Chains A and B, each alone.
Chain A
Amino acid sequence: MEKVLTKMVGIENSRNIDVYLKSGGYQALPKALKMTPDQLVGMMKDAGVRGRGGAGFPTGMKWSFLPKDNPNPRYLLCNADESEPGTCKDRVLMEEDPHQVIEGLAISSFAIQAHTCYIYIRGEYVNGAQVLNKAIQEAYDKGYLGKNILGSGFDLDITVHRGAGAYICGEETGLIESLEGKRGWPRIKPPFPAVYGVFGSPTIVNNVETLVTPVHIINRGIQWWKDNEPKLYCMSGHLNRPGVFEAKIGINLKDLIYGDDYSQGIAKGRKLKAVIPGGSSVPVLKADECDVAMDFDALAKAGSALGSAGCMVMDETTCMVNALWNLIKFYAHESCGQCTPCREGGHWMEMVLGRIETGRGRMEDLDLMLETANNIAGRTICPLGDALAWPIAGMPDKNKGGDLSGNSFVTKFRDEFEYHITNKKCKVTIPHEWN
């Protein structure tokens, strides 16, 4: 398949503006500047682009929520926080092809009529921030950023803003608070950022990968996009060839795991046990549920979600009690502490899971955990509370009228939890050695 999003990966000096120009870069921007902002928003709607950050929200629709009569300046915030466990795709775009990102940001800023754009990049991506800064300088020097871009009369400033180590700053309102120089405490919505965002102004927050899509829709057309929609998939875990792969959206998960062009199967000839297909916040799939198309609708139908397309693959050496404990520790650590159910519930469930994993669990713990998780989900300011509860209690399943029971670690692998409790040891007996 022809690579579109990752075309520049592996090309010498791919980050250099001249190399980008030679490969057809910055051809979409002048075309966009000749369109009207409304036409661009319409283009995103017609192409059916959905957000790549996690929630899959339709991008054109989000852009059209900006109020027409608000006198305050508008802002575009590029969400490069990339901290959902399993997710490592935006890094590839930023580090290998920063000009594609800048071109996408310039087009998107024009579409929403923002003259200021911040790239909120996770603090640990020091290299990514440096690469972007250098590329932004090149773009200013060549007139793709700054005042009166390409003679269009449109002005745009882009600034890279480094976070400082907090998962919650990936949540859009936590990101906004953090950008304002505060703790990344998510805000209660409404008001939504489109109406009242950063500095009290109308604001659009989109993921890096979402914001590069208009480059390719302009270059190749809406119909091409609909027929070939490219998507990045982050393959991690027990694989022969883990990595970030570009494929047509809707590729079968089995092809990503076993395909020659992708991850080439489970490492050491072992058996597949489970996959978290869309970043740690989405429901786990059992091995026999992995014959599924990796797109928003098919995964929702399978009782999971595409999320951030961070696909964590676990083989038969993985203890599911330990895996769940690991994830819950993550959420407990990353809770911002504003809501009691999330702050207290996280640590409490971490403790109970630790008890089960180390052979001190009681059978009542399982139902107690399910009940606690159910008391967290839906009762917090931001979805981190849900992400903490769902791996235990299950995500509301639309196919079953919102039923919570079917798709969690505890419900799908209950036998392993019970085995731990009854036998005070792990059901998995094959050890996983490091190198």
Chain B
Amino acid sequence: MALEFNAEYKKQVDWTLSRYPKKEAAMLPVLHLAQYQFGYISTEVMELVAKTLDVPVSRVQDVVTFYSMFREQPVGKYHIQVCHTLACAINGGAQVVKYLEEKCGVKANEGISADGKFSILRVECLGSCSTSPMMQVNDDYYENLTKARIDELVEKWKKE
């Protein structure tokens, strides 16, 4: 069966569409909403977005593949993105990744941990350079990372 936005998201989609003179311009915001509801952008989700915006599915696919935040595969419950660009790199970005890999039981850029909790990605500058090293977990930034802070966070997430 074709996917649909649930009532709450449908309201947001309609409001979003009202903010642009052309439907297609709502592409990124509608894709964000779809990713929040469905977790990732599958072919069925692309079809839903295409229908919502009156564009061919190929147009949606073109956009999804261009932007790094849209994912075509599921991610862990805690999707960890560690900045590895210069300001973070020189303050320990690579060591942060290594430490997280050990703690979370999954390698960076290699899928989800066995318990389904964690996925780790190395990403480019997140615009938080003066609080390096830093990472984004789902929607939130965690800055000035130390081992102790990572211990505390990962232990908490493991229990949740």
Contact = CB atoms under 8 A, between A and B. Distances in A.
B139 interface: yes
Q: Which of the listed residues A123, A124, A181, A326 has the most CB atoms from chain B within 10 Å of its own CB?
A: A181
Given A86-B129, A124-B127, A126-B139, A184 B66 contact: yes
Contacts of A127: 139-141
Nearest to B96: A434
User: Is the interface on chain B under 10, 10 to 19, 20 to 34, or 35 or more residues?
Assistant: 35 or more
Contact of A179 (B25, B89, B147): B25
A110 B84 CA distance: 41
A123 B68 CA distance: 10
Nearest to A318: B90
A162 interface: yes
Contact of B87 (A125, A312, A333): A312
A333 B153 CA distance: 30
Contacts, number: 152
B32 A327 contact: no
Contacts of B133: 434
A178 B25 CA distance: 8
A177 B19 CA distance: 17
A432 B92 contact: yes
B87 A83 contact: no
A32 interface: no
A334 B86 CA distance: 14
B128 interface: yes
A317 B1 CA distance: 58
Nearest to B89: A326
User: Is the interface on chain A under 10, 10 to 19, 20 to 34, or 35 or more residues?
Assistant: 35 or more
A207 interface: no
A159 B20 CA distance: 9
A162 B29 contact: yes
B85 A199 contact: no
Contacts of A310: 129
10 contacts: A83-B124, A85-B85, A163-B28, A165-B67, A167-B125, A184-B67, A237-B86, A242-B132, A314-B90, A434-B92
Interface of B: 19-22, 24-29, 31-32, 53, 55, 62-63, 66-70, 84-87, 89-92, 95-96, 123-133, 136, 139-141, 146-147
Given A184-B67, A237-B132, A333-B124, 11 more contacts: A83-B124, A88-B131, A122-B127, A164-B68, A165-B69, A181-B26, A237-B86, A312-B87, A326-B86, A434-B95, A435-B146
